[in-house]
Structure 1
Amino acid sequence: MYHKEFHLYHDGRMHKAVVRNYQQQDFAMLVTIQRECFPPPFPPDLLWNEEQLTNHVTRFPEGALCVEVDGELAGSITSLLVQYEPEDPDHSWEQITDSGYIRNHDPLGNTMYVVDIGIRPAYRKFKLGAALMQAMYETVVHMKLDRLLGGGRMPGYHMHAGQLTAQQYVDQVISGELKDPVISFLLKCGRTPVTLVENYLDDEESCHYGLLMEWRNPFKRTT
């Protein structure tokens, strides 16, 4: 199981941080974190429930990570294993994650797929999202998988949808002309765009698009 301790410097102070696998005793706070991270108009039925969280820690505990700062839970990331074929990249979030229940987790899958990542707003400047993503990369290497994959929300797109197509918006975010809260973050974390997916998620801010992005295991050759 995963456990990493490190220190963060923020606002003139050093803080102790821990990335670890989340457990049943964390469920109530994880639900609270989801509500803080994804306020309306994000669909409330897409927030975690106890059955989903139970599946995460029983079906694939290696892919259920959280981060604490000074002993307080501040964020989480969840994944499952899938068999991914690059020549057939189109899918929706509901299809590939079993709507977050991960009952389709494939222990023999070649790809770690990110189901969700969220950092409490009060901790957004601590760079905890990058720490959780790095932990997933390390798990990909440890498990000898081909890649980490996931569809990134595009919550800034609705402000530009009247002037730009979704692809034009993505291109301008990638070039640095525009910044998107999620896509820009994932690019900074080393994720590489794969393809734009229409109707990826019920998400008005993203106009229901998602950008599929990967991080390839540098110790494995993939096509």
Structure 2
Amino acid sequence: MTETIDIRLLTAEDYFDLKESMVSAYPDMAGSYWREPTISRLISLFPEGQIAITVNNKVVGCALSIIVNYGKFGDEHTYEQITGYYTFNTHDPKGDILYGIEIFVHPDYRGKRLARRLYDARKTLCERLNLRGIVAGGRIPNYEKYADEMSPREYIEKVQDKELYDPTLTFQFSNDFLVKKILRNYLPHDESSKGFATLLQWYNIYYEKDADTVRYNKSTVRIGLVQWQMRDYRNLDGFLEQVEYFIDAVSDYGSDFVVFPELFNAPLMAEFNQLDPAGAIRGVARYTEQIRDEFVRHAVSYNVNIIGGSMPIVIDEQLYNICYLCRRDGTYDHYIKIHPTPSEVFAWGVKGGQELKVFDTDCGKIGIQICYDVEFPEPSRILSEQGMQILFVPFLTDTQHAYNRVRFCAQARAVEMECYVAIAGCVGNLPKVNNMDLQYAQSAVFTPSDFAFPVTGIKADATPNTEMIVVADVDLVLLKELNAFGSVHTKKDMRKDLYEVKWKK
């Protein structure tokens, strides 16, 4: 006979099937089953949280839940306290945690992965209600066999390491629950667990604290890269005209970000070509703040966040390589290149910056590194630990070898840090500018390497050495799913017991 399995909300009419299944599920806890008025009250209070699974229309299991304001209870609580001594007056529709108060399957129907379906339904409910996660107290029924040999902590560690099997805890681990704490006297009458329980938590990776606001609700982010052609501009006005042209073009596609390359304003150095290279770069630095102000104005008028490539700037008589983030709300921020290349130091006297941080935008958290910076994995690791989702890398390289160093390292950062990396570079040549003879670039957007992403790890790329724009969409939700459910976990699995990365400043 073919079995029909269904997941649906529990109703009061299901009670007698429910009672039969629960009595059979807990043979070691005689008389411990929910009474009919209690089930009716739960359904009345929170119908969405009471989930039944049926086989051929017979209820053979369920998952019962309430919503609580977890801060009122904390991690030190008993089952009676969290349920309001079985009155469920602790249920708070405005709470932040879905609290699992019961889940079971009739033993005759085990082995069909029905409990997993109940857990998945509960997780879906948690996500839909935008709750921080699921918390539950879990039995450890096999612990009575080992109580004379080991502590509850040792037992839990051995179950987690698969040295021992526990019918409840093993299943919880397989469903992505973490043990936050060991609870004593959570269920005092649970003799099999010797009165102990695990405080379990599953984190909702889609939870948004400010879900009622516009910020950070954007899942798909559109990035526009400008592969900039180095050419002789008549003057600053001619240069700014070309800048606005690309901002306009990228914004026409509804882009959230437009990214310019490193030192894309180098053509303006032609005006100072009579000077030595160090003098010429300081000469063009005079225009940097004016160009920044134009970026700020265009970011608002074209409704696009601008990663302003990079430009030279003089601060306290020292020369730096700076990138401006100009947000479309009219605010701006900056990042100074930490690792100037040997050529920058030798020819121009560029100094390295001293700060590293993640920037908040209306499309999530971003990081910026300039060219050579991305060849050092440690700063990217620090940005990743601060929540970076997209790393922008304006670059300038003269040869294909130099370009490949940036490209390969940028792709490595996307895999290691489980983020998107967008690189934008200059092409062409500047025969009238010293130390800026040739440029080679292929701008691109790179992704992590897992099933949800392109098998090549490349979302989009430009034609090498051709002036153009590249527009690509990246999905921030995929990053959350990768971090939680990916084939590997390059962020989580870092052996911090052996090594770590620290920012010293």
Task: Determine if the TM-score, normalized by the shorter chain, exceeds 0.5.
Answer: yes
Corresponding position of 1:24: 12
- Aligned counterparts of 2:4 and 2:128: Cα–Cα separation in 1: 25
Per-residue deviation, residues 89-126 of structure 1 (Å, max 9, x unmatched): 11111110234432221111100000001100011111
Matched residues, number = 208
Give the conservation status (yes or no) of the 8 Å contact 2:132–2:204: yes
What is residue 173 of structure 1 aligned with on the other side?
159
For residue 186 of structure 1, the aligned residue among 144, 160, 172 is: 172
From 179, 191, 211, give the equivalent of 1:204.
191
Distance 1:79 1:140 in 2: 10
Superposed CA offset, 1:121-157 (max 9, x none): 0111111111000000000000000001101100000
| CA distance in 1 between partners of 2:72 and 2:182 (Å) | 13
Q: Does 1:160 align with 2:146?
A: yes
Residue among 71, 77, 84 paired with 1:85: 71
Specify which structure has the bigger relative contact order, considering alpha-carbon pairs within 8 angstroms and separated by 6 or more residues: 1
Q: Flag the structure with larger Rg.
A: 2
**Matched residue, 1:122:** 108
Aligned to 1:134, which of 108, 116, 120? 120
Q: Could you tell me how far apart the structure 1 residues matched to 2:180 and 2:2 are?
A: 37
Structure 1: state its 5+ residue gaps. 1-12
- Which moves more between the two structures, 84-93 or 52-61? 84-93
Deviation at 1:14, TM superposition (A): 5.7
* TM-score (normalizing by structure 1): 0.88
- Whole-angstrom distance in 2 between the partners of 1:197 and 1:59: 27
> In 2 relative to 1, CA 78–87 (structure 1 residues): closer, same or farther, beyond 3 Å?
closer
Counterparts of 2:137 and 2:192, CA distance in 1 = 15
What amino acid does structure 2 have at the position aligned with 1:58?
Answer: S
Mean CA deviation greater in 66-75 or 99-108? 99-108
* Alpha-carbon separation, structure 1, partners of 2:22 and 2:89: 21
Contact 1:51 1:101 in 2 (8 A): no
Q: 1:16 to 1:150 in 2, by over 3 A?
A: same
Cα 1:87/1:21, change in 2 over 3 Å: closer
2:68–2:98 CA contact under 8 A, matched in 1:
yes
| Alpha-carbon displacement from aligned partner over 1:135-185 (angstroms, at most 9, x marks no partner) | 000000000000011011000000000000111111111111111010001
1:12-91 equivalent positions in 2, closer than 5 A: 15-40=3-28, 42-44=29-31, 46-85=32-71, 88-91=74-77
Report the identity percentage: 26
- Matched residue type, 1:147: G
Q: Which amino acid aligns with 1:193?
A: V
Q: 1: CA distance between counterparts of 2:74 and 2:131?
A: 18
1:187 aligned counterpart, secondary structure: helix
Tell me the SS of whatever aligns to 1:144. Answer: coil
Shift of 1:87: 9.4
Question: Hey, what's the Cα distance between the residues in 2 that align with 1:173 and 1:14?
Answer: 36
Q: Report the CA distance between 1:31 and its aligned residue.
A: 1.1
1: CA distance, partners of 2:190 / 2:136:
16
Offset at residue 29 of structure 1 (A): 1.2
TM-aligned CA deviation for residue 69 of structure 1: 1.5
Deviates further, 128-137 or 16-25: 16-25
Q: Distance in 1 between matches of 2:185 and 2:205?
A: 31
TM-score by length of 2: 0.40
Rounded Cα–Cα distance in structure 1 between residues aligned with 2:47 and 2:74: 27
Structure 1 residues 100, 181: CA separation in 2 closer, same or farther (over 3 Å shift)? farther
Distance 1:54 1:16, change over 3 A: same
Equivalent of 2:181 in 181, 195, 199: 195
Deviations 1:160-213 (A, max 9, x none): 000001111111111111110100011111111111101110200000111011
Q: CA RMSD in A?
A: 1.7
Runs of 4 or more above 4 Å deviation:
none
The one-letter amino acid of 2:138's match is: G
Deviation of 1:220 after TM superposition, in Å, equals 2.1
Instruction: State the distance in 1 between where 2:2 and 2:178 align.
Output: 32
Q: Partner letter of residue 85 of structure 1?
A: G
Q: Distance in 2 between matches of 1:47 and 1:161?
A: 26
Is the deviation greater in 120-129 or in 67-76? 67-76
* Structure 2 contact 60–109 (Cα < 8 Å) conserved: yes
Q: Does 1:215 align with 2:215?
A: no
SS of equivalent residue, structure 2 residue 141: coil
Moved more, 31-40 or 205-214: 31-40
Give 1:103's aligned residue: 89
